[in-house]
Amino acid sequence: MIFYFSGTGNSRWVAERLGELLGESVYSIADMLVREDTFTASEDRLGLVFPVYSWGPPAVVLEFIANLYSVCTPKYIFFVCTCGDDTGKTPELICRAFAKKGWQCNAGFSIIMPNTYVSLPGFDVDPLQVAQKKLKESENRVKEIVEKLSRREQIMDCHEGALPWMKTYIVRPLFTHFLMSAKPFWVSDACISCGKCEKVCPLHNVCLVDGKPEWGNHCAMCLACYHHCPKHAIDYAGLTRKKGQYVFDTVKKKALL
């Protein structure tokens, strides 16, 4: 079984490719969380796929792990995290989350994918050619990971990057405390009330009121609403008006043309 969380499609694609090549069933963590129930895993191989947010796993992924249930402890647990550059100490946080359940995380991998975070100065999506290059290289990386998973290797193969401890244990808590709010989201007059933002929000945190989106209090900062807006009408704190947008399916399609 493979469970994934994804906002713009990077981690969804990775999960689906892994599922295809490994012969595993693939499930959306967001869909499972909506059920507000205990989630049941098989007793054999269990995998998680998720994006790295500020050098750590999304809170919804940690919540999912905490609520995961299995009659027998899975024999082999692995994760694959997608990131624009590096992971920090994400492996430690995931292993610790499983250890709290008395489970051992056996393997972890990272895959470099196109950047999607745009909500701070200095952060933007990759140029199209860079994004397409990352996507092309990611296919080989997925196949490499599948070979290791098929052999059930005990390995942590993640690109932590420079100063990983500081990024995860100092920068990440600050980010979580001050920047994990949907309040700065707003929409311009360019909005056409298409409802795309409401549809793509994995946590159902966006709803249309009088034809305009409003954000609730359960935001993962995946930025799916921003990136999928066909009119670039959604802005975050006035910081994203001139930033780019990224959606996996769109960029992948352009790469195939």
Residue boundaries of the structural domains of the chain:
2-176, 181-249
Q: Which fold has domain 181-249?
A: Alpha-Beta Plaits (3.30.70)
Q: Is the pLDDT of residue 257 over 90?
A: no
> Which of 42, 46, 146, 147 shows the shortest CA–CA distance to 104?
46
pLDDT band for position 38 (50/70/90)? low
- The CATH number that domain 2-176 falls under is 3.40.50.360
> Which of 102, 98, 14, 9 shows the shortest CA–CA distance to 57?
98
Rounded to whole angstroms, the Cα distance separating 114 from 95 reads 25
The reply to whether 181-249 shares the fold of 2-176 is no
Backbone angles phi, psi at 82, to 5 degrees: -100, 145
Three-state DSSP at 152 gives coil
- pLDDT more than 90, % of the chain: 85
Residue 247, amino acid:
V
DSSP 100-147: TTT----EEEEEE------SSTT--PPPHHHHHHHHHHHHHHHHHHHH
pLDDT digits (tens, 9 = 90+) for 143-164: 999 999 999 999 999 999 999 9
pLDDT band for position 232 (50/70/90)? very high
Structure tokens at 101: 């359940």
Rounded to whole angstroms, the Cα distance separating 108 from 248 reads 23
